[in-house]
A and B are shown apart, each in its own frame.
Chain A
Amino acid sequence: MQSQQPFNIIILGTGGQGQITLLQILAKAAMTAGLDIKTSELHGLSQRGGSVEVHIKFGKEVHSPLIKQGGADLVIAQEIQEALKGCYFSSKEKTNFIINDLLIPIPGEKNIGKEYILQTIKNFSKETILIPAQDICQQKLGTSVTAGVFLIAFASYKKLIPLEPEIIKKALKQVLPQKYLKINLDTLNLVREEVDTNLP
């Protein structure tokens, strides 16, 4: 990394989508790259199917574990409505959004329309990429559990994160239990193929 300022990522989703695992993968990858890191996560009540927001920052020297308002370089949303929560941390000048095209309804609430979401985020982002990660993983790998890893691998291949795919691969091996490793490495390969062919 060239810049003195840390690289700031917000990961959003709902409880149970594995945000903390994604955070650990990115943090390990940054550590392998020899960078300083700070992350912030929440446990307990907030995990019971509620909204989950984790912060990860890496660079030469990182102070605050929280990303400031308008300070995110990248927002990764595992659910499309939750992506809206990234706007607080984003700005048109620097922030890219990668959004999983998946809607998890909120009991008793009306779904927020995709049009509205994308239109709103446009005002807070440099580039917004919507990917049906859930569907692609389900179709090509027979399971959607690795949709989150798909998103971070995508960010890496598209150079939207200053961490090479090889480093992400190493981090997967460090963080994931043996029994889940293969499917995640397959996901990484799948992203490489898709980026070359089908994806935006």
Chain B
Amino acid sequence: MESDLLKTKNQKSLLLGNEAIIRGALESGVQFVSTYPGTPASEIGNIFYRIAQKQGVYFEFSTNEKVAMEAAAGASFSGLRSLVAMKNFGLNVASDFLYPLLYTGVPKGMVIVVADDPSCWSSAQSEDNSRWHDLKAKIPTLEPSTPQECKDFVKIAFELSEKFKTPVMIRETTRVAHQSAPVILGNIPKKSKKEALFVKNPDMYSTMAPRVFKMKKELLDKIKNIEKIVEKSPLNFVKNQNSKSKKIGAIASGVSYLYLLEALENLNIKIPILKLGFFYPLPEKKIKNFIKNLDQVLIIEELEPFLEKEIERLAKDVNPKLKINGKNLLPEIGELKPEYIILALSKILKVKPDFDYQNHLKKVQEINLPKRNPQLCPGCPYHIVFSTIKKLSSKNTVIGGEIGCYMLATYPPYEIQDYLYCMGSDISIAHGIKKATKNKQKVIAFIGDSSFFHAGIPALVNTVYNNSNPLIIILNNSTTAMTGHQPYPGDVGINIENVVRACGVKNVKTLDQTNIKEFEDTVKDFLEKDEVSVIIATKPCIFVNKK
């Protein structure tokens, strides 16, 4: 809760991981925050939106994550501490900018918060693992396990960022972002009165060859220097060093570390643990030191075997006979659970689990559980759109969707969505289908208002430029509904129809879909057009007026 978040120094507050990140940013004197809404990172933006002005922080919901990251970098270039937050897919969108940003570095602290979502609790599209960006971008990355660490790590990230003139990433997952626990608060400093100024330095900021090769060399050197710090960082530590078991150890990071502690407590066993809070670059010496005398190690990580591959590489040097357990005992799909670690450990340690998990699971699997899919809210203006399209489209008509409440068209009673990828994609895919099938199939593509501004406009321009004729339905419900009703560019009067016309679209109609006759007639008419056509359905989300 916000009152807890803003309590004074030394008090204890119950905070979500995301709230603790906000507190950490405030305690670091952050001055510029940007984001694009995406769960499990959404609360960071939602709360800053409400508190920023009073806290003397500039905050914006940007049009997409790439724009948000670029804006935060611009603020850092001008001497302000900046933070940008997004979910995993957002980092993919922003990565085009992220990679060169690491080449140039930043003059003032810049922290990038990314939230992954193993098990896709709040995600469609893929079970994306942002760790791989660490390697490719060479971005120093911290992985907190608890809300307390979320707060503390943000402060450390700002310090690291300024010390090494590089953006620093905080990677969290759903069970860290939406985990609450008591956090001991620190001081929120008075805001700096220093005016921001962009000091020209093309040698630093212009990523042109041949300078770009020197930049790459500078980046590699920087990472070498950070590696030295990492070896001494208290964020990476060994627990249970003096336990009786000396031959079997475990390595974990993020929420997996908490599951490991839970598992050991339940098994009533202690083994040495290497906890990695500073995740990239890895403390290679510390890891080598940890594994060199072990017979077996268990690597506990969600999704792909990122750490496991690194440890395999390091073990070749110091302990080639080491038995490395990881994805042989733990799933690569879906998030981990404490019981998975209990079972993996009981296998390695050859002890009996504390509970008959397999038998219990068998019994649970026999239960007829309720299958309750997420639903459009009663009274949602999308109901009319989906029922009308379902009625008017032939079996052969292809219907594309993307990210927003309208992806619920996948589920009964509508079940009309033929494909679903990332934001902006369905217009371009519709164009490709139209071109490939030489107009034999009709294609209808849904896109939300916020998504249209996020990534839909270039795709729409492409349909005009390369001349195809899908029907695009922009669902303008006047908000970013799915992620919690955040504001969107339409709020300042950017008119979608004007934008669509300016893209060169001639067949455009803005209408209220509850006027069903007009909606149906327009769909029928537009489906016969030789050029791209756009319907803008303007009935607002039922929550818009309640905001």
Contact = CB atoms under 8 A, between A and B. Distances in A.
A42 B342 contact: no
B370 A109 contact: yes
B181 interface: yes
Which of A38, A41, A65 has the most chain B CB within a 10 Å cutoff? Answer: A65
A131 B150 CA distance: 40
B465 interface: no
Interface stretch (B227-235, B359-367, B520-528): B359-367
Contact of B122 (A46, A49, A69, A85): A46
A9 to B, nearest CB: 14
B182 interface: yes
Contacts of B338: 64, 66-68, 71
A133 B370 CA distance: 21
B121 A40 contact: no
B281 interface: no
Contact of B178 (A42, A63, A67, A68): A42
B258 A63 contact: yes
A108 B412 contact: yes
Contacts, number: 153
B40 interface: yes
A27 B361 CA distance: 29
Interface string B171-214: 00011001111100000000000000000000000000000000
Nearest to B371: A109
Residues of A in contact with B, size category: 35 or more
B289 interface: no
B370 A84 contact: yes
Contacts of A88: 361, 364
Interface string A10-37: 0000110000000010011001000011
A41 B364 contact: no
A62 B377 CA distance: 36
Given A48-B405, A50-B372, A66-B259, A31 B337 contact: no
A51 interface: yes
A43 B43 contact: yes
A87 to B, nearest CB: 5
A116 B369 CA distance: 11
B461 interface: no
A119 to B, nearest CB: 11
B372 A65 contact: no
Contact of B179 (A40, A44, A68, A116): A40
Interface string A109-139: 1001000100010011000000000000000
B370 A51 contact: yes
A96 interface: no
Contacts of B180: 27, 37-39, 41, 65
A187 interface: no
A200 interface: no
A106 B175 CA distance: 28
Contacts of B122: 42-46
A82 interface: yes
A49 B405 CA distance: 12
Interface residues of B, number: 54
Given A46-B122, A107-B413, A38 B179 contact: yes
Which of B262, B337, B375 has the most chain A CB within a 10 Å cutoff? Answer: B262
B360 A106 contact: no
B94 interface: no
Given A27-B180, A69-B360, A42 B262 contact: no
B264 to A, nearest CB: 9
Nearest to B408: A48
A78 interface: no
B43 A63 contact: no
A162 interface: no
Contacts of A14: 372
Interface in B116-163: 121-124, 146
Which of A27, A44, A47 has the most chain B CB within a 10 Å cutoff? Answer: A44
B76 interface: no
Given A48-B408, A69-B339, A43 B40 contact: yes
A81 interface: yes
Interface in B241-267: 255, 258-259, 261-262, 265-266
A91 B360 contact: yes
Nearest to A64: B262
A10 to B, nearest CB: 13
B413 A64 contact: no
Contacts of A91: 355, 360
B31 interface: no
B379 interface: no
Given A45-B121, A65-B175, A112-B368, A50 B339 contact: no
A81 B367 CA distance: 11
Nearest to A109: B371
Nearest to A39: B180
A36 B259 CA distance: 16
Contacts of B368: 84, 112, 116
B408 A63 contact: no
B408 A68 contact: no
Interface string B257-284: 0110110011000000000000000000
B178 A120 contact: no
A175 interface: yes
A69 B337 contact: yes
Contacts of A28: 14
Nearest to B380: A48
A85 B1 CA distance: 28
Given A38-B181, A109-B371, A66 B337 contact: yes
Contacts of B337: 66, 68-69
Q: What are the 8 tightest A-B residue pairs by CB atom distance, in nearest-first order?
A: A44-B39, A44-B122, A48-B374, A64-B262, A63-B261, A49-B375, A50-B374, A65-B179
21 contacts: A27-B180, A36-B182, A37-B14, A38-B179, A42-B121, A43-B42, A43-B122, A45-B124, A45-B374, A48-B375, A48-B376, A48-B377, A48-B482, A49-B372, A50-B372, A68-B262, A69-B355, A69-B360, A71-B355, A85-B369, A87-B364
Given A38-B146, A49-B374, A64-B258, 18 more contacts: A27-B180, A37-B180, A37-B181, A39-B179, A50-B373, A51-B370, A63-B261, A67-B338, A70-B355, A84-B367, A84-B368, A84-B369, A87-B363, A88-B364, A91-B355, A106-B371, A109-B371, A175-B1
